[in-house]
């Protein structure tokens, strides 16, 4: 399968990127300039750091003296092979629920030092989750295609909205689900009927001559579409069954399914051996709601345990059997903590001690457990493929976030670092996998 490749010609490395850019002037060798719709200069600079350290996108306008003119922090929608799609909003009249037409959308080519404002899609309307980015093979430009897939009342028909930078406008068409994904191998409980409909929660870019993109419902499956085809259609690829479907005794659960992003993630990888594949990760968390609230008035939870499992898919056909476990599930209580790593986690207050019945017992470092830590948003690494990144917080919804790098083969914490303070309370997405070539 021909796939999207590097636009720089260099070997690419993983990055972790905060989902919101910072407003500030930090020029470097990647800095690029374009104009907003109101002809204000907009400057973008990318500062790369090796994971688990976060890389940062800085956005700045020399024509705007007051940073408060940015109505909200610039939002990164997608990152693919050194191309970043982001949006900014300046001096919006709306304080909350800013309408789509108020945003300026930009594509930034980190390697080519190119910044390009794309046409606002209004009056079209869609969520960031359904927007994908397809870089085109030009090193010194921001040439690309941007596409959004939106469900319609007919579950077999979707609206496909596509922007090609060489044309400069949005075009819309209806696409048919020609090859629906394979039926679930188990009967889905009534309370889990959400799994029977496809609601995209992220988009992956595969590329190739047809410009293949995948709209992923992280609970359910993938809808693949060749957006460069003159007659695009959709075809389904199932995802591994959610582990929350199964109770500890093996019975089928009837739990309701909310947002999947805190628990399931996917990425497309060009492996070092040349084989392209999908890599999928599932986080299973067991927690208990406590009767009291925390100091901020938010719900309080005690986390009993968590485990991570990863799958790879080299065929990408319409079969559950294509998914192969990379290794056995890694449970928090068997993850190895070397003494230096344990001390660092204690310093960050990321190890928790379960309350003891014996208040006179003496606590040791070993009493503080990793399994009682609140983790979310598992992110599969592109390089190396055996690492999974987890967002970790000392308490539920605590504003300070850290990144744990867990080696799934060695079953140990490979690294930990402060990721920053979450500036948006909605836990949408703050950890974006991407890849860029090193400077």
Question: Considering the chain, what is the average pLDDT of its residues?
Answer: 86
- Is the Cβ–Cβ distance between 157 and 176 less than 8 Å? yes
- Report the distance separating Cα 44 and Cα 307, nearest Å: 38
Residues 6+ apart with CB under 8 A from 152: 158, 159, 174
Distances (CA, A) of 403 to 63, 176, 334: 36, 40, 19
List, for residues 288-322, the tens digit of each pLDDT value: 777 776 666 667 777 788 999 999 999 999 999 99
Higher pLDDT, 368 or 377: 377
- Report the distance separating Cα 374 and Cα 395, nearest Å: 6
This prediction's pTM: 0.90
Peptide bond into 123 cis (omega under 30): yes
- Indicate the domain borders of the chain: 1-120, 140-260, 265-355+364-439
- The proportion of the chain whose per-residue pLDDT surpasses 90, expressed as a percent, equals 58
- Report the distance separating Cα 158 and Cα 213, nearest Å: 14
- Report the distance separating Cα 17 and Cα 158, nearest Å: 30
With cut-offs at 50, 70 and 90, classify the pLDDT of residue 115.
very high
Q: Is the pLDDT of residue 83 over 90?
A: yes
User: How is 9-20 classified by DSSP, letter by letter?
Assistant: SSPPEEEEE-SB
DSSP helix, strand, coil percent of the chain (3-state; round to 5): 10, 45, 45
With cut-offs at 50, 70 and 90, classify the pLDDT of residue 10.
very low
Instruction: Please give the backbone phi and psi of residue 196, each rounded to the nearest 5 degrees, phi first.
Output: -90, -5
- Report the distance separating Cα 271 and Cα 20, nearest Å: 28
């Amino acid at each position: 399968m021909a796939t999207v490749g590097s636009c720089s010609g260099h070997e690419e490395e993983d990055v972790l990127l905060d989902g919101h850019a910072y407003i500030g002037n930090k020029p470097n060798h990647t800095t690029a300039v374009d104009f907003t719709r109101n002809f204000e200069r907009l400057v973008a600079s990318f500062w790369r750091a090796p994971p688990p350290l976060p890389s940062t996108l800085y956005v700045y306008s020399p024509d705007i003296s007051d940073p408060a003119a940015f109505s909200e922090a610039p939002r990164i929608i997608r990152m693919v092979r050194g191309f970043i799609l982001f949006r900014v909003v300046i001096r919006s009249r709306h304080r909350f629920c800013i309408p789509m037409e108020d945003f300026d959308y930009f594509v930034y080519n980190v390697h080519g030092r190119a910044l390009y404002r794309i046409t606002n899609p209004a009056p079209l309307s869609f969520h960031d989750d359904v927007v994908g980015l397809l870089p085109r093979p030009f090193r010194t430009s921001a040439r690309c295609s941007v596409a959004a897939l939106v469900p319609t009342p007919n579950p077999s028909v979707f609206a496909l909205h596509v922007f090609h930078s060489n044309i400069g406008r949005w075009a819309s068409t209806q696409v048919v689900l020609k090859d629906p994904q394979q039926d679930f191998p188990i009967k889905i409980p009534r309370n889990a009927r959400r799994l029977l409909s496809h609601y995209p929660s992220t988009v992956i870019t595969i590329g190739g001559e047809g410009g293949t993109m995948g709209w992923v419902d992280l609970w359910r499956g993938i809808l693949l579409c060749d957006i460069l085809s003159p007659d695009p259609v959709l075809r389904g690829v199932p995802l591994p069954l959610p582990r929350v479907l199964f109770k500890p005794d093996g019975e089928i659960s009837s739990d309701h399914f909310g947002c999947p992003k805190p628990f399931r993630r996917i990425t497309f990888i060009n492996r070092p051996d040349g084989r392209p594949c999908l890599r999928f990760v599932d986080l299973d968390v067991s927690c208990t709601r406590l009767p009291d609230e925390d100091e901020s008035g938010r719900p309080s939870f005690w986390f009993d345990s968590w485990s991570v499992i990863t799958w790879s898919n080299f065929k990408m056909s319409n079969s559950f059997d294509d998914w192969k476990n990379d290794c056995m599930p890694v449970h928090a209580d068997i993850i190895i903590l070397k003494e230096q790593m344990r001390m660092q986690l204690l310093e960050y207050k990321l190890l928790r001690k379960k309350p003891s019945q014996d208040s006179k017992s003496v606590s040791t470092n070993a009493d503080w457990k990793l399994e009682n830590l609140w983790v979310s948003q598992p992110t599969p690494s592109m390089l190396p493929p055996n690492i999974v990144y987890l967002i970790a917080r000392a308490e539920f919804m605590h504003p300070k976030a850290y990144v744990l790098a867990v080696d799934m083969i060695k079953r140990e914490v490979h690294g930990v670092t402060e990721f920053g303070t979450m500036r948006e309370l909605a836990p949408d997405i703050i950890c974006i996998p991407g890849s860029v070539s090193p400077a």
